[in-house]
């Protein structure tokens, strides 16, 4: 387990603010209102813990394979449906959407190995992450990776009502490895993955999935 680099600044700011609150609490309430002192102290500890755990990055071995699409994020599957993908493919694909609560790990990983053929960041709205239009109207980053078979997998980082900061490390033309980190979304958010029609899908609605471990589907040969 380690702390993600995107969290260093936020954790430092949170520690300073909560440290100041605790100091004032200790000076003014320890002897005057000890019950309130202990409640506020506990609150400061819990808040700092929640901030730190949000930026945790667990050590995991990728549970994949050359013909498998591994889950790019932790969370719960909220959508599996055939949709029109308007940005890149402009045809019908199988969309698998994974909702991440603030308690989930918020790293994202490449679902397949190959070459990044497309990357684009979009400014947008901050609808709740499970809203049907969040995939096309919210702040988002779209990445497409081309597998050695020629199949392309598109996945999209989507900001939510709370998550308003997307970090994506993808670069067009870059060779990527399945399970390597590709980005981070701060606070509750969503990731959409688009598979070719006819792909085998190995997950179900409401299933809890784990990044780098759960298998979403199989690449068509």
pLDDT, one tens digit per residue, over 139-180 is 889 999 999 888 999 999 987 655 457 888 999 999 999 999
Rg (CA), the chain: 20
Q: Residue 154 in contact with residue 85, Cβ under 8 Å?
A: yes
Beta bridge partners of 99: 76, 190
pLDDT at 125 over 80: no
Q: Among residues 134, 141, 189, 199, which one is catalytic?
A: 189
**Could you confirm whether 135 is annotated as catalytic?**
no
Give pTM, 2 decimals: 0.85
Q: Is the dihedral of CA 102, 190, 152, 79 positive or negative?
A: positive
Q: For the segment 73-83, what is each residue's pLDDT rounded down to a tens digit? A: 999 999 999 99
Averaged pLDDT for residues 197-220:
92
| pLDDT for res 202 | 95
Pick among 2.70.70.10, 2.60.40.3080, 3.90.1150.10, 2.30.30.100: CATH of 68-218: 2.70.70.10
């Amino acid at each position: 387990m380690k702390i993600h680099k995107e969290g260093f600044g936020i954790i430092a700011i949170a520690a300073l603010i909560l440290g100041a609150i605790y100091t004032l609490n200790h000076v003014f309430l320890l002897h005057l209102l000890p019950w309130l002192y202990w409640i506020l102290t506990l609150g400061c500890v819990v808040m700092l813990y929640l901030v730190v755990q949000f930026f945790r990055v667990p050590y995991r071995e990728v549970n994949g394979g050359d013909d498998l699409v591994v889950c790019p994020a932790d969370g719960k599957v909220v959508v599996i449906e055939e949709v029109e993908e308007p940005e890149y493919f402009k045809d019908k694909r199988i969309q698998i959407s994974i909702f991440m609560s603030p308690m989930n790990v918020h790293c994202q990983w490449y679902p397949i190995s190959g070459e990044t053929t497309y990357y684009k960041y979009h400014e947008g709205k901050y609808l709740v992450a499970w809203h049907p239009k969040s995939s096309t109207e919210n702040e988002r980053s779209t990445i497409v990776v081309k597998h050695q078979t020629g199949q392309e997998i598109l996945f999209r980082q989507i900001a939510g009502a709370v998550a308003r900061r997307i970090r994506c490390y993808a670069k067009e033309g870059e060779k990527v490895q399945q399970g390597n980190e590709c980005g981070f979304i701060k606070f509750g958010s969503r990731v959409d993955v688009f598979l070719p029609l006819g792909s085998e899908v190995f997950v179900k609605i409401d299933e809890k999935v784990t990044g780098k471990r759960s298998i979403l589907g199989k690449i068509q040969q």
